[in-house]
A and B are shown apart, each in its own frame.
Chain A
Amino acid sequence: MRAAFSIRPVAMAITLALALGPLPTAYAAGNDEAALRAEVAELRAQLIELKHEVQQMHAAPAAAAAAAATATTASTAPASAATLPANADAASLPGAAPMQSSILNTAASATTLYGYGEMNYTRPTKDKSATQADLARAVFGFIHAFDENTRIVSEFEWEHAVASASDQGEAEVEQLYIEHQLQPNYGLRAGLMLIPLGLLNEHHEPTNYYGVYRNFVETAIIPSTWREGGVSIYGNTEFGLNWSAGVTTGPDLSKWDPTSPEGRESPLGSIHQELQLAKARDPSVFAAANWQGIPGLTVGGGIFTGKIGQGQPGFLANHARLLLGEGHVRWQTGPFDLSALYTRGTISDTENLNLTFIGNPTPAPKAFWGGYVQGAWRAWEHDGAAIAPFVRYEEYNTAASYEAIPLGLGVDPLVTSKLWTAGVNYWLNPNVVFKADYQQFRSESDRNRFDLGIGFQF
């Protein structure tokens, strides 16, 4: 836990100083002895209160019992006088605490640092030579508050440990936006922010999901960690609805590489721009909502849509439109954590573009989808530590259909990948997790693998 501290004595001292401030003017103006006496009495009361406070901090326990008895009655009068503004109606609420949150402003720092990391080890069962250990992510971020209502949220990431021109790692900015709370129940965001679709994208820390790797549906179809630049409005309601909507940048279809397998691994992942000198001719919009009115149950969904040709001169798919929708439900009851998600995306108008890609292995798909069901059971927990075995069944297809190509020169749609993942998460405490799992594919056995992972967040 972070050590916080009380500035109440300081606040009291300030109040005292402020109370003393008007004194000279009062003196000059009124010169009324009675008023003066009242003033002095009030100051004395405040002083006692302040002394009392300081005593509390230094008080030995032995003296406390006596102090408690006397203080309970003694502090009644000073409390009522000291904590009311000078011109308040004293009869209305004797002893009411101050309106503002001076009690509660116990030194929340203006800047908070946070982060997470994950390391994993993978061993394909059919090809031991491809065994790999990797520092998948090292992430840190800061949140800086300008005032009560406005702050910056940021997240920076290194992937695969070493990022340079000749290494395979990447260093990137994952989030960087300003958040401004307009009312307690809604606010605005602007900058590079996470798209609020799916269960994983906004809660992608390793301690927040089951299994060593993020599930395939929410990496191949919903390209976690999916972020776009733009503005959004978000809010929540009393009856449990969290919603957000925004206008952002979108993917760039002119980046599609038909010769590379990347488009088959993740269609949107291969054309996302991540606000890196992003082509922004065509904005995208999103809207998402989650309902959590019943504790333990989350039901939600969202859509993201926009034209993704980005108006490039001579590009044959300038009218192509992406539409991605998803729906999910999660139910946590007792030791069980059950979730299910389905997502489907379509890209329109790729026919002419794919005609220029004939013969290549990776034309642009028309539709892609994925879904999973997952169940976890917290078998044991004690004081923050927990062990939860889980099982997950996923199906996904990154190219379920293509626009028609003449003469049979197109490629066949991909076969849907189907896989089981079974494993266990062991939380040493809510912020540190050790994971192990085994992933078995129904018809692609060379992808079967055994994984181990370490993850933490702070």
Chain B
Amino acid sequence: MYLKVAVHASMSRVIRCVFTGWVLASCSVALVHADTAAVAVQLATPSMLGKAIFFDESLSASGKTSCATCHDPAHAHAHAQSNTLAVQSGGEFHDVPGFRAVPSLRYLNLGIAFHFENDGTPIGGFNRDGRANSLLEQAERPLLAPHEMANGTHADAVARLANASYADDFRRVFGNSVFDDIDRAFFRMQFALEKYEVTDPGFHPFDSKYDYFLAGKVKLSAQELRGFSLFNRPDKGKCLGCHPSTRGSDGSSPVFTDYTYDNLGLPRNTAIAANVDPAYYDLGLCGPFRTDLAEHTDLCGAFKVPTLRNVATRQVFFHNGSFKTLTDAIRFYVRRDTNPEQFYPLDANGIAQKFNDLPAEFHKNVNTSEVPYDRHPGEAPRLSEDEIADLVVFLQTLTDGYDALSNTADPARSLTK
């Protein structure tokens, strides 16, 4: 066993001991203060610090907002059951409205950096428009954004961190003088958060009913099997086209996203404050929150394909929270083109204003060729209402924290492992 221990002692404690050793390391650790020694053992790793930061509400302008406020671990790291707002508000007084629905933070540890494939397909990235290339990069915006934790600047965020109860542990792990350099400290805050999201098994438990089914340990019910078949069938749902349901060639469990982007032509959500301005459009890959791809106009309106794990626990769906139930969300896929009047506002002539969340010149970017949203008006939708119900029941098997005895799933159960 290879054991590497690095221990930092505070200045006034003389001995600083760093060593690596084989098997059991019998290190003569210089004694630090007895009271901080216990805490030092607890928060000795960046991941543990990241967890402390994740739950720390003092790291916000309001003093009452932490990462966990919107990304509640008991609700698959998305917002809680009672909250059915399309987007959350933040800021010092919780009155600055947000722009996009809160995504789940689960299973992001398997994400990849944003890049273009050989055939020009954009792939990877973090945030709904992929503008962060790692969880570390992604951690910056929520800490600073005025509609979120509203720290405003690195300095403010670091100052709040320096006052936290675990600031000493932060120094122990990252160095005594870490708070002297603002950007350096902020970077290490991001680092700690990333480590927490990547190493804590509560973020990627793979303990849903579907996982047990893939392992041959549990059988799916008849309706779940029917829904599963519809999910995979190339002529029905073909959901696995973007949300793969099979094991990887290396035997890895499916994450239900291929990390690509899709433009669904969702209806404009008037509940988002920014949408009051008719000139404002959230175009995803080509803006307004990322600007490096502005000239890739064919990508305007495309948003990241998220994982479908825990999708049944969500209160709002899609980047703009335009649907409140999973059934409605799936109905949109199935009937967008056969019955657009069910989803879009009607104009003066009674014609549905399709793709009204996109400027007219980008309507052609909307995906109209993939099953199941490849229909034309008058054609039958690919799934009937019963089949949609079956599909919803199957998607419920993707919820973490499955208990075979009660045949129920609760993402909060994954946390106790």
- Give chain A's interface residues, CB within 8 Å of chain B: 166, 254-255, 257-259, 312-316, 352, 355-361, 406-407, 409
Scan B193-225; emit 1 where CB is below 8 A from any A CB, else 0. Answer: 000000000000000000001111000001001
Cβ-defined partner of A409 (8 Å) among B229, B234, B244, B246: B229
In chain A, what residue has the closest Cβ to B234? A361
Known: A314-B214, A352-B216, A406-B225. A357 touches B232 (CB 8 A): yes
Cβ-defined partner of B225 (8 Å) among A254, A315, A409: A409
In chain B, what residue has the closest Cβ to A314? B215
Q: Roughly how many angstroms separate A357 CA and B254 CA in the complex, as a whole number? A: 13
B349 contacts the other chain (Cβ, under 8 Å)? no
- The residues of B that contact A357 with a CB separation of less than 8 Å are 232, 246
Q: Roughly how many angstroms separate A356 CA and B240 CA in the complex, as a whole number? A: 13
Q: Roughly how many angstroms separate A315 CA and B213 CA in the complex, as a whole number? A: 11
Interface residues on B, range: 20 to 34
- The residues of B that contact A166 with a CB separation of less than 8 Å are 118
- Give chain B's interface residues, CB within 8 Å of chain A: 118, 213-216, 222, 225-226, 228-234, 236, 240, 244, 246, 249, 251
Cβ-defined partner of A254 (8 Å) among B222, B232, B251: B251
In chain B, what residue has the closest Cβ to A361? B234
- The residues of B that contact A254 with a CB separation of less than 8 Å are 251
In chain B, what residue has the closest Cβ to A165? B118
Q: Roughly how many angstroms separate A254 CA and B251 CA in the complex, as a whole number? A: 8
Known: A166-B118, A356-B213, A407-B222. A255 touches B249 (CB 8 A): yes
- The residues of B that contact A258 with a CB separation of less than 8 Å are 232, 246
Cβ-defined partner of B228 (8 Å) among A257, A314, A359: A359
- The residues of B that contact A406 with a CB separation of less than 8 Å are 222, 225
In chain B, what residue has the closest Cβ to A360? B232
- The residues of A that contact B215 with a CB separation of less than 8 Å are 314, 316
Known: A352-B216, A356-B213. A315 touches B251 (CB 8 A): yes
Chain B min CB distance to A364 (Å): 12
- The residues of B that contact A312 with a CB separation of less than 8 Å are 251
Chain B min CB distance to A359 (Å): 3
Known: A258-B246, A314-B214. A359 touches B251 (CB 8 A): no
Q: Roughly how many angstroms separate A360 CA and B216 CA in the complex, as a whole number? A: 18
Can you give 23 contacting A-B residue pairs, CB < 8 Å? A254-B251, A258-B246, A259-B240, A314-B214, A314-B216, A314-B251, A315-B251, A316-B214, A352-B216, A355-B225, A356-B214, A357-B232, A357-B246, A358-B228, A359-B229, A359-B232, A359-B236, A406-B222, A407-B225, A407-B226, A409-B225, A409-B226, A409-B229
- The residues of B that contact A316 with a CB separation of less than 8 Å are 214-216
- The residues of A that contact B244 with a CB separation of less than 8 Å are 259
- The residues of A that contact B230 with a CB separation of less than 8 Å are 359
Chain B min CB distance to A285 (Å): 26
Q: 15 extra interchain contacts, Cβ-Cβ under 8 A, other than A254-B251, A359-B231, A359-B236?
A: A166-B118, A257-B246, A258-B232, A259-B240, A313-B251, A314-B216, A316-B216, A355-B225, A356-B246, A358-B228, A360-B233, A360-B246, A406-B222, A406-B225, A409-B229
Q: Roughly how many angstroms separate A323 CA and B225 CA in the complex, as a whole number? A: 30
Q: Roughly how many angstroms separate A359 CA and B243 CA in the complex, as a whole number? A: 14
- The residues of A that contact B234 with a CB separation of less than 8 Å are 361
In chain B, what residue has the closest Cβ to A315? B251
Known: A259-B240, A316-B216, A352-B216. A358 touches B249 (CB 8 A): no
Q: Roughly how many angstroms separate A123 CA and B211 CA in the complex, as a whole number? A: 47
Chain B min CB distance to A441 (Å): 23
Q: Roughly how many angstroms separate A355 CA and B216 CA in the complex, as a whole number? A: 9
Chain B min CB distance to A310 (Å): 10
Chain A min CB distance to B334 (Å): 16
Chain A min CB distance to B9 (Å): 43
Q: Roughly how many angstroms separate A407 CA and B227 CA in the complex, as a whole number? A: 12
In chain A, what residue has the closest Cβ to B236? A359
Q: Roughly how many angstroms separate A407 CA and B221 CA in the complex, as a whole number? A: 11
In chain B, what residue has the closest Cβ to A356? B214
Q: Roughly how many angstroms separate A407 CA and B100 CA in the complex, as a whole number? A: 41
- The residues of B that contact A352 with a CB separation of less than 8 Å are 216
In chain B, what residue has the closest Cβ to A359? B232
Q: Roughly how many angstroms separate A258 CA and B233 CA in the complex, as a whole number? A: 11
Q: Roughly how many angstroms separate A315 CA and B249 CA in the complex, as a whole number? A: 11
Chain A min CB distance to B248 (Å): 10
- The residues of B that contact A255 with a CB separation of less than 8 Å are 249
Q: Roughly how many angstroms separate A356 CA and B228 CA in the complex, as a whole number? A: 9
In chain A, what residue has the closest Cβ to B210? A356
Known: A254-B251, A314-B251. A358 touches B216 (CB 8 A): no
Q: Roughly how many angstroms separate A359 CA and B232 CA in the complex, as a whole number? A: 5
Most chain B beta-carbon neighbours within 10 Å: one of A255, A314, A359 = A359
- The residues of A that contact B246 with a CB separation of less than 8 Å are 257-259, 356-357, 360
Q: Roughly how many angstroms separate A313 CA and B251 CA in the complex, as a whole number? A: 8
Chain B min CB distance to A387 (Å): 46
10 smallest CB-CB distances across A and B, nearest first, come from: A359-B232, A359-B229, A359-B233, A358-B229, A409-B229, A316-B216, A360-B232, A314-B215, A358-B228, A352-B216
In chain A, what residue has the closest Cβ to B222? A407
- The residues of A that contact B213 with a CB separation of less than 8 Å are 356
- The residues of B that contact A409 with a CB separation of less than 8 Å are 225-226, 229
Q: Roughly how many angstroms separate A312 CA and B230 CA in the complex, as a whole number? A: 28
In chain B, what residue has the closest Cβ to A312? B251
Chain B min CB distance to A371 (Å): 31
Most chain B beta-carbon neighbours within 10 Å: one of A254, A357, A360 = A360
Most chain B beta-carbon neighbours within 10 Å: one of A255, A259, A313, A356 = A356
In chain A, what residue has the closest Cβ to B238? A359
Chain B min CB distance to A409 (Å): 5
Q: Roughly how many angstroms separate A409 CA and B221 CA in the complex, as a whole number? A: 13
Known: A258-B246, A259-B240, A259-B246. A358 touches B232 (CB 8 A): yes
Q: Roughly how many angstroms separate A358 CA and B397 CA in the complex, as a whole number? A: 15
Q: Roughly how many angstroms separate A286 CA and B232 CA in the complex, as a whole number? A: 37
Chain A min CB distance to B338 (Å): 22
Q: Roughly how many angstroms separate A273 CA and B162 CA in the complex, as a whole number? A: 57
Q: Roughly how many angstroms separate A395 CA and B204 CA in the complex, as a whole number? A: 49
Most chain A beta-carbon neighbours within 10 Å: one of B118, B213, B230, B232 = B232
Q: Roughly how many angstroms separate A171 CA and B375 CA in the complex, as a whole number? A: 43
Q: Roughly how many angstroms separate A131 CA and B368 CA in the complex, as a whole number? A: 30
Q: Roughly how many angstroms separate A315 CA and B250 CA in the complex, as a whole number? A: 11
Q: Roughly how many angstroms separate A356 CA and B226 CA in the complex, as a whole number? A: 12
Chain A min CB distance to B188 (Å): 37
Chain B min CB distance to A451 (Å): 30
In chain A, what residue has the closest Cβ to B241? A259
Q: Roughly how many angstroms separate A360 CA and B246 CA in the complex, as a whole number? A: 10
